[in-house]
Amino acid sequence: MEDFKVETGYQLTLDTVKDLWTKTYNSQGKPDWSHILPYYDDEIYFRDSIQEIRGIAEFREMTERLTNRSKDLSMHLVRAQQNGNDLFIEWEMTISYTKYPSSILYGISRFTINDKGKIIEQRDFYDLWGDIFDNIPRFGTRYRKFLKKKFG
């Protein structure tokens, strides 16, 4: 594993990522990113299946929106790996929105670490609608049948 030089004293390693992400989503139900945000570069580029974000201010706003929308959120890390400057975590996130039943989302995140040892890019991969629809009686089954019929 390669060591990274960090000007701010934050040393991001695979073990640090596993520890931080587990704590992020288990603070009495509400997610809290305050301990993770210092590990992100000011020029962070984030993308998932819904949005594309550039810069720490916009990223922080996204984390606040998720906190406000969710009643409860927890994350289970299934596995984590490092390949050079890229860290990968496979996760199961259980989210309970204020007006809807709990849903489990299954996904993977890739973090790219820059020469300052901070996250410069994060890409999250998950099937938002499929995982949510699976938790709605009868609808999830119909949705999966539709996908299989149309896309194979």
Classified by CATH at the fold level, domain 14-127 comes out as Nuclear Transport Factor 2; Chain: A, (3.10.450)
59-112 residue pLDDT tens: 999 988 887 777 777 788 999 999 999 999 999 988 776 666 677 889 999 999
**Cα separation of 78 and 71, whole Å?**
23
17-46 residue pLDDT tens: 888 887 766 556 567 788 889 999 999 999
What is the model's pTM?
0.78
* Antiparallel, parallel or unpaired: β 40-47 and 119-126: parallel
**Confidence band of 150 (pLDDT split at 50, 70, 90):** low
